[in-house]
Amino acid sequence: MTIIAFIGLGNMGGPMAGNLVKAGHTVVGFDFSEEARAAAKAAGVTIAADAKSAAAPADVIVTMLPAGKHVRAVWGELAPVAKKGTLFIDSSTIDVESARAVHRIAGDIGLPSVDAPVSGGTGGAKGATLTFMCGGEEAAFAAAKPILEKMGKKIVHCGGAGAGQAAKICNNMILGISMIAVAEGFVLAEKLGLDRQALFDVASTSSGQCWSLNAYCPVPGPVPTSPANNDYKPGFASALMLKDMKLSQEAAQAAGASTPLGAAATQLYGLHNAWGEGGTDFSGIINLIRGKS
């Protein structure tokens, strides 16, 4: 069975590595955090003394780290010690420029690589139901797919280097904007004395329908499973939404794309975080729009 090195065993990486163990792989992991190492060890991951010792015997190296600078540093450290033919996969959410740069680190020494960010959150990581959005050459994607299938349900090849990250941030920019649009609709309805269930019944089957409304409604009641019914417990934390919105704006600036609503939404999530709500679900932005909780 394939030996997999897993670097970054946090809220997402820990359970993902655990699912690779469940699938019968030998997984050798490393994380700076003692707590993360202990949890991964309990899930059957062999803990290495450092990232290099985890990577040296591996056929596949997976990274699940906070940001582009961490991925650049770790791939830069590991590429020189990796075996010939080792496949590099990064599943972190990072800027497109860093994703392309780390593909070059691997490519320059002839190693295949895939950027494979995820959606599905910690629930998807635990349940092996993540969606992977992948960028890289066809052969590298074909090699990564059977590994990713052990951690997710839907694996999509979006294009060349960085295309997975591009798909991830475009999707999340749409989500971030659409949630604010839905929140504004419900706040206006409140001011007009329109019942929220009545607005939901009309808009969720009319041209206003979208995932933020139909599946993740930001007011309690119409969609019983949405975080609004659970005091906006995440779900998808506003701090993570802000991170992704900022990545979309960096990418827009670098690529010369005009994204005025993305820019405005980024500022609003910034305010929501400054309001002390970074740890609550992003749909709680409706309270900021309303001006009160």
Interacting residues toward ligand NAD by CB under 6 A = 7-13, 30-33, 36, 51, 64-66, 70, 73-74, 92-93, 118, 121-122, 240, 243
Of the residues 168, 191, 243, 246, only one is catalytic, namely 168
CB of residue 122 to ligand NAD, shortest distance in Å: 5
Q: Which amino acid is at 115?
A: D
From the number of C-beta atoms within 10 Å of its C-beta (0-12, 13-18, 19+), residue 263 rates as middle
Please give the distance of CA 271 from its chain centroid, rounded to a whole number.
Answer: 22
Q: Say how far apart CA 168 and CA 15 lie, in whole Å.
A: 21
Which is nearest to 215 in space by CA: 248, 188, 175?
175
| CB nearer to ligand NAD: pick between 165 and 200 | 165
| CB nearer to ligand NAD: pick between 122 and 204 | 122
CB of residue 231 to ligand NAD, shortest distance in Å: 18
Which is nearest to 114 in space by CA: 73, 70, 159?
159
| CB nearer to ligand NAD: pick between 240 and 288 | 240
CB of residue 292 to ligand NAD, shortest distance in Å: 27
CB of residue 5 to ligand NAD, shortest distance in Å: 11
Q: Say how far apart CA 200 and CA 115 lie, in whole Å.
A: 38
Angstrom distances, CA of residue 75 to CA of 14, 62, 80, 220, 256: 19, 10, 9, 44, 28
CB of residue 118 to ligand NAD, shortest distance in Å: 5
Q: Say how far apart CA 94 and CA 66 lie, in whole Å.
A: 8
Name, in order, each residue with C-beta under 8 angstroms of 113's C-beta and a sequence gap of 6 or more: 87, 88, 89, 90, 102, 103, 106, 107, 136, 140, 161
Q: Is 69 a catalytic residue?
A: no
| CB nearer to ligand NAD: pick between 225 and 293 | 225
* C-alpha torsion 243→248→253→258, nearest 10: -130
| CB nearer to ligand NAD: pick between 200 and 236 | 236
By annotation, the residues acting in catalysis are 168
